[in-house]
């Protein structure tokens, strides 16, 4: 690929990661808020074109709620939920899913426990039945617990020689020292020794409740029937979640770059600064700025200056990450060890140039045009729309957000961008983490 | 990545690699799934349309029937380098402007190279289809990169190789492993190119490759989305129709000699912290000789791989020696390719033990075949996947692209559910016995330095 070559083993990931397609009609998908008889709210899009259902859900409280010393508890627990529940042991539970081609998986990010469910419409009853068992009657049997512990241990050990993992861990640690966002979200050998089977059950009970639950569903199903299935499954959860949530934090930017010496020919570089929370009034201005500077399309400033003109990198980009308790503005690049200093200097130069001059009128217009025009491409499939429905709820948006989005973006002015550039980019220090044998970083 | 999910992903890969089309299999009540329209322009450009009117967007792709396995000896990586240079200018689109224009029109674009194909695409609002077709048609025939843009772009590709391969012992090992699997066939060469050949590629090499292989009669236009057949035909005639047909070489690549000796390779690298095992066998594809084995092999891969497939049950669950185990099978390849396994042991368990356990699973398969129940469930999962595949228009376009550049027809793709339904236990056993022949195996160990 121009950005990624297609190797056979990668085929599938790319197929689905990039998948595009068929989402909304011109005005976007028609979103209904359903309130079930049991009182659970579901954001729903009826899509009868294909006989399938995609449901996504999120519970507030993710790996940032792991108890100190038990890093990875959320990740491990969520993986275990589909490894045996009710009368079914791990093997039987997985067989039951496979028998009906049901896909059901839980995960944990920093702020949320996540759920993805996909089924043929004709098997929806069975799918929700398995979902209910996984949420309310997980077994945490000895066999799957031992198996997933062994896997976590190997995964940890692999990470010790993976430059991307090492860079990400160090970045988090330096960005948020002493805060849960600074800790690993996957288990360590030490945390694996502390985590007990009782912890899995306790975490499930604390985390999966009804008052911290957000649901999005898309597909070929009657709303009344969906409501009944939701009540029969999510309706069995406890009323209130009791997980502790992390306190607000601000990303730290130490003066000196963090260098992890690693015997690779190419250095992995992460850089970051405090970003914005999702409800910040400057969010859309920051989105326009980030897209022009180093965001999604292959025409950003950093892409142009560092890659197209000079050939220093294959990949370079920046992003805004709105955690619930901290905003991040971050970026990454990878370049030959000898070019690290030069590449980072170009990044800093572009930051300074944008702070000084802002975006050109053409850049501003192009950034808005890309963001508004490509938005429907993100609603590419039932599963993608279901994910968007949950993301909109996480961000506290209304059901009209998809219609509103172009207006929100188009309302951003050059002055807005200049202001937010000063907030994000006008900094003495950036947090910089390099894994490799970099040259040209001074000190 | 949680292993179970990886398996689900691998299982899906098999489906989609094998892939996917009509649902006529389950009875006349069910409509076709993709229901594509196809036609061919006078200059030989093949056109496939997968209509989907759920959203006012289109996915526009041009696939060339040329990939890394078609490169001249000594020029490995040139197909992929050319792919990068396709963004470096035509008479009406200056260097670097292609993606900029697409983005400004609210679209996304990219490109990809594999052993058997090279593809370019844009996803964009349907009223911009005319625009992207005009630009894509222009670079089919009038690419004109400047030396001053080609030189830094080669540096970009070298950085790409570093990210994927030199920075990753697993990437380096996969390259060595493929080279060991294929003595003669260029599938043994890395798509991105061997480092010493890649570093010496020139603009002239890329343009020579371009003039040899890029022509309408060697390309397939695939559009998925909100456009009618009449509209697409009109636009295709307008933009691609005027490009003259050119003679292109037959795709006859060196074929593998019979493999008479098992091959083993071991690589150590200080950057490896956990060992891993690879095993593969030459295997027919849906287009190669002995193609009758291909669909049974795809079903077998599903049986081995599934979330509770034989590999996971035999190698990972309970006391098994591994933390992850998966199989791959490349049914959609122009020439015969491989059926393989990748396994990671639990901490402290030896690769020898893992390999013996895998051999045990293969031996049992060869002795007893698969069960009726395994076959029934695998078929139902594969059939369900063809329905899920409809949810991704990009995926549908991708399937047709891969199939049509690897020697198949639209009809072959559409026959998939019917072919899967017809597979018998006996056919799977016969295919397994053909493929899993010990002298035809390649086994690779990737080890940390200290274990060497």
The predicted-structure confidence for B146-197, as pLDDT tens digits, reads as follows 999 999 999 999 999 999 999 999 999 999 999 999 999 999 999 999 999 9
Same domain, B210 and B291: no
* B56/A contact by beta carbon, under 8 A: yes
What's the pLDDT score for residue A298?
Answer: 81
Report the pLDDT averaged over residues A112-117. Answer: 98
Same domain, B234 and B85: yes
In B375-394, the residues whose Cβ lies within 8 Å of chain A are 377, 380-381, 384-385, 387-388, 390-394
Residue B14's pLDDT band (boundaries 50, 70, 90)?
Answer: very low
What pLDDT, in 10s, does the model give residues B188-246?
Answer: 999 999 999 999 999 999 999 999 999 999 999 999 999 999 999 999 999 999 999 99
Same domain, B302 and B349: yes
What's the pLDDT score for residue A27?
Answer: 58
Q: Are A390 and A216 in contact (CB under 8 A)?
A: yes
* B231/A contact by beta carbon, under 8 A: no
What pLDDT, in 10s, does the model give residues A359-390?
Answer: 999 999 999 999 999 999 988 789 999 999 99
Tell which of B312, B384, B406 to mutate to test the A interface (max A CBs under 10 Å): B384
What's the pLDDT score for residue B32?
Answer: 59
Per the residue annotation, which of B83, B138, B197, B302 is the catalytic one? B83
* A376/B contact by beta carbon, under 8 A: yes
B156 or A442, greater pLDDT:
B156
Summary mean pLDDT of chain B: 91
Same domain, B304 and B212: no
Q: Is residue B415 part of a domain?
A: yes
What's the pLDDT score for residue B20?
Answer: 30
Q: Are B350 and B322 in contact (CB under 8 A)?
A: no
The proportion of chain A whose per-residue pLDDT surpasses 70, expressed as a percent, equals: 93
Report CA Rg, chain B. 23
Q: Is residue B234 part of a domain?
A: yes
What's the pLDDT score for residue B390?
Answer: 85
In B154-183, the residues whose Cβ lies within 8 Å of chain A are 154-157, 159-160, 162-164, 166-167, 169, 174
What pLDDT, in 10s, does the model give residues A248-302?
Answer: 999 999 999 999 999 999 999 999 999 999 999 999 999 999 999 999 778 899 9
Is the pLDDT at A17 greater than 70? The verdict is no
Same domain, B317 and B270: yes
What's the pLDDT score for residue B27?
Answer: 32
| Cross-chain CB nearest to A8 (options B273, B330, B380) | B330
Is the pLDDT at B281 greater than 80? The verdict is yes
* B278/A contact by beta carbon, under 8 A: no
Q: Is residue B38 part of a domain?
A: no
What's the pLDDT score for residue B393?
Answer: 81
Report the pLDDT averaged over residues A111-116. Answer: 98
Q: Compute the nearest-CA separation of B191 from chain A (Å).
A: 8
What's the pLDDT score for residue A315?
Answer: 94
In A322-361, the residues whose Cβ lies within 8 Å of chain B are 334-336
Number of domains making up chain B: 2
Distances (CA, A) of A81 to A114, A136, B332, B395: 12, 9, 36, 30
User: Which residues pair with residue B61 across a beta bridge?
Assistant: B121, B222
What pLDDT, in 10s, does the model give residues A26-82?
Answer: 457 899 999 999 999 999 999 998 999 999 999 999 999 999 999 999 999 999 999
Tell which of B338, B388, B417 to mutate to test the A interface (max A CBs under 10 Å): B388
With beta carbons under 8 A apart, name residues in chain A contacting B52.
21-22
Q: Is residue B30 part of a domain?
A: no
Residue numbers of the domain that contains B272 = 263-451
Same domain, B272 and B204: no
* A50/B contact by beta carbon, under 8 A: yes
> Does B83 participate in catalysis according to the annotation?
yes
Q: Report ipTM (2 d.p.).
A: 0.91
Same domain, B267 and B379: yes
- Rounded Cα distance between B404 and B292, Å, is 18
B312 or B55, greater pLDDT:
B312
Is the pLDDT at B3 greater than 50? The verdict is no
Same domain, B279 and B367: yes
Q: Is residue B71 part of a domain?
A: yes
As a three-state string, the secondary structure of chain A is CCCCCCCHHHHHHHHHHCCCCCCCCCCCCCCEEEECCCCCEEEEEECCCCCEEEEEEEEECCHHHCCCCCCCHHHHHHHHCCCCECCECHHHHHHHHHHCCCEEEEEECCCEEEEEEEEEHHHHHHHHHHHHHHHHCECCCHHHHHHHHHHHHHHHHHHCCCHHHHHHHHHHHHHCCCCHHHCCCCCCHHHHHHCCHHHHHHHHHHHCCCCCEEEEEEECCCHHHHHHHHHHHHHHCCCCCCCCCCCCCCCCCCCCCEEEECCCCEEEEEEEEECCCCCCCCHHHHHHHHHHHHCCCCCCHHHHHHHHCCCCCCCEEEEEEECCCCEEEEEEEEEEHHHHHHHHHHHHHHHHHHHHHCCCHHHHHHHHHHHHHHHHHHCCCHHHHHHHHHHHHHCCCCCCHHHHHHHHHHCCCHHHHHHHHHHHHCCCCCEEEEEECCCCCCC
Q: Is residue B2 part of a domain?
A: no
What pLDDT, in 10s, does the model give residues A288-338?
Answer: 999 999 997 788 999 999 999 999 999 999 999 999 999 999 999 999 999
Last residue of a domain, one of B239, B274, B306: B239
With beta carbons under 8 A apart, name residues in chain A contacting B344.
154
Q: Is residue B269 part of a domain?
A: yes
With beta carbons under 8 A apart, name residues in chain A contacting B272.
161
Domain at B92, CATH number: 3.30.830.10
B367 or A440, greater pLDDT:
B367
Same domain, B88 and B219: yes
Same domain, B303 and B197: no
| Cross-chain CB nearest to B99 (options A155, A263, A298) | A298
Report the pLDDT averaged over residues B57-64. Answer: 97
Report the pLDDT averaged over residues A197-218. Answer: 98
Q: Is residue B109 part of a domain?
A: yes
Last residue of a domain, one of B239, B273, B299: B239
Same domain, B172 and B133: yes
- Rounded Cα distance between A84 and A243, Å, is 24
Summary mean pLDDT of chain A: 92
Same domain, B283 and B189: no
What's the pLDDT score for residue A2?
Answer: 63
Tell which of A154, A361, A384 to mutate to test the B interface (max B CBs under 10 Å): A154
Last residue of a domain, one of B206, B239, B272: B239
| Cross-chain CB nearest to A5 (options B9, B100, B113) | B113
Residue A426's pLDDT band (boundaries 50, 70, 90)?
Answer: confident
């Amino acid at each position: 690929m121009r950005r990624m070559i297609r190797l056979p083993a990668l085929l599938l990931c790319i197929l689905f990661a990039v998948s595009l397609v068929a989402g909304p009609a011109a005005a976007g998908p028609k979103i209904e808020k359903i309130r079930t008889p049991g009182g659970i709210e579901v954001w729903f899009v009826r899509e009868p074109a294909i006989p399938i259902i995609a449901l996504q859900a999120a519970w507030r409280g993710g790996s940032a709620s792991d108890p100190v010393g038990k890093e990875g508890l959320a990740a491990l627990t969520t993986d275990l939920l589909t490894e045996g529940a009710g009368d079914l042991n791990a093997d039987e539970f997985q067989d039951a899913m496979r028998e009906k081609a049901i896909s059901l998986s839980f995960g944990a990010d920093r702020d949320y426990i996540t759920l993805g469910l996909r089924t043929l419409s004709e098997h929806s009853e069975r799918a929700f039945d398995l979902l209910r068992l996984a949420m309310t009657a997980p077994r945490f049997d000895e066999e799957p617990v031992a198996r997933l512990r062994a896997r976590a241990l190997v995964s940890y050990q692999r990470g010790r020689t993976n430059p991307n993992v090492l860079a990400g861990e160090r970045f988090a640690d330096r960005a948020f020292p002493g805060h849960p966002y600074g800790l690993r979200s996957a288990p360590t050998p030490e945390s694996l020794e502390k985590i007990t089977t009782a912890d899995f059950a306790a975490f499930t009970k604390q985390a999966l409740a009804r008052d911290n639950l957000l649901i999005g569903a898309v597909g070929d199903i009657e709303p009344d029937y969906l409501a009944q299935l939701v009540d029969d499954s999510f309706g069995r959860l406890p009323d209130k979640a009791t997980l502790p949530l992390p306190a607000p934090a601000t990303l730290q930017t130490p003066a000196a770059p963090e260098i992890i010496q690693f015997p690779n020919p190419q250095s992995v570089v992460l850089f970051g600064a405090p970003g914005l929370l999702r409800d910040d009034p400057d969010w859309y201005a920051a989105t326009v700025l980030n897209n022009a500077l180093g965001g999604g399309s292959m025409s950003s400033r950093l892409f142009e200056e560092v890659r197209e003109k000079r050939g220093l990198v294959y990949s370079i980009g920046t992003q805004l990450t709105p955690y619930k308790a901290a905003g991040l503005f971050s970026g990454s690049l990878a370049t030959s060890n000898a070019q690290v200093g030069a590449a980072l200097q170009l990044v800093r130069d572009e930051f300074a140039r944008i702070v000084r001059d802002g975006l050109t009128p053409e850049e501003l217009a192009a950034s808005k045009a890309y963001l508004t025009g490509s938005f429907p491409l993100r609603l590419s499939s039932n599963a993608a729309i279901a994910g968007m429905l949950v993301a909109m709820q996480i961000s506290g948006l209304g059901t009209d957000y998809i219609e509103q989005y172009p207006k929100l973006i188009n309302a951003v002015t050059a002055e807005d961008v200049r202001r937010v550039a000063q907030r994000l980019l006008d900094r003495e220090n950036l947090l910089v983490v390099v894994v490799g044998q970099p040259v040209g970083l001074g000190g | 990545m949680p292993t179970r999910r990886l398996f689900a992903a691998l299982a899906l890969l098999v489906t989609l690699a094998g892939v996917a089309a009509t649902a006529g299999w389950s009875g006349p009540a069910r409509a076709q799934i993709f229901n594509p329209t196809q036609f061919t322009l006078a200059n030989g450009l093949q056109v496939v349309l997968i209509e989907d009117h759920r959203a006012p967007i289109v996915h526009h792709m041009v696939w060339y029937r040329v990939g890394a396995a078609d490169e001249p000896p000594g020029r490995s990586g040139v197909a992929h380098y050319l792919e990068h240079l396709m963004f470096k200018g035509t008479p009406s689109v200056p260097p670097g402007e292609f993606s900029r224009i697409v983005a400004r029109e609210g679209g996304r674009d990219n490109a990809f190279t594999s052993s058997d194909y090279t593809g370019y695409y844009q996803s964009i609002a349907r009223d911009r289809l005319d625009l992207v077709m005009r630009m894509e048609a222009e670079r089919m025939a009038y690419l004109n990169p400047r030396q001053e843009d080609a030189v830094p772009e080669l540096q970009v590709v070298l950085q790409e190789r570093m990210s994927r391969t030199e920075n990753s012992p697993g990437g380096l090992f996969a390259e060595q492993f493929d080279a060991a699997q294929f003595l003669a066939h260029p599938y043994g060469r890395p798509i991105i190119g061997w480092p010493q050949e890649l570093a010496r590629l020139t603009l002239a090499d890329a343009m020579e490759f371009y003039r040899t292989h890029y022509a309408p009669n060697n390309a397939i236009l695939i559009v998925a989305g909100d456009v009618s057949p009449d509209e697409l035909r009109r636009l295709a005639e307008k933009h691609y129709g005027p490009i003259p047909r050119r003679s292109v070489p037959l795709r006859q690549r060196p074929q593998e000699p019979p493999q008479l000796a098992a091959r083993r390779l071991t690589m150590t690298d200080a950057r490896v912290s956990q060992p891993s095992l690879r095993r593969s066998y030459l295997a027919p594809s849906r287009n190669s000789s002995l193609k009758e084995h291909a669909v049974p092999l795809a079903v077998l891969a599903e049986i081995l791989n599934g979330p509770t497939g034989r590999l996971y049950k035999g190698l990972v669950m309970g006391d098994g020696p591994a933390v992850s185990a998966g199989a791959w099978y490349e049914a959609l390849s122009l020439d015969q390719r491989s059926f393989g396994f990748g396994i990671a042991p639990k901490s402290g368990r030896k690769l020898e033990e893992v390999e013996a356990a895998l051999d045990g699973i293969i031996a049992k398969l060869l002795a007893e075949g698969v069960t009726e129940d395994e076959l029934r469930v695998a078929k139902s999962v594969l059939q369900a996947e063809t329905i899920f595949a409809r949810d991704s228009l990009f995926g549908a376009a991708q399937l047709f692209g891969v199939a049509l550049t690897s020697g198949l027809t639209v009809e072959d793709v559409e026959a998939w559910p019917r072919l899967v339904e017809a597979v018998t236990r006996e056919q799977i056993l016969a295919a397994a016995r053909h493929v899993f022949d010990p002298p035809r195996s390649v086994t690779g160990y990737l080890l940390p330095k200290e274990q060497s």
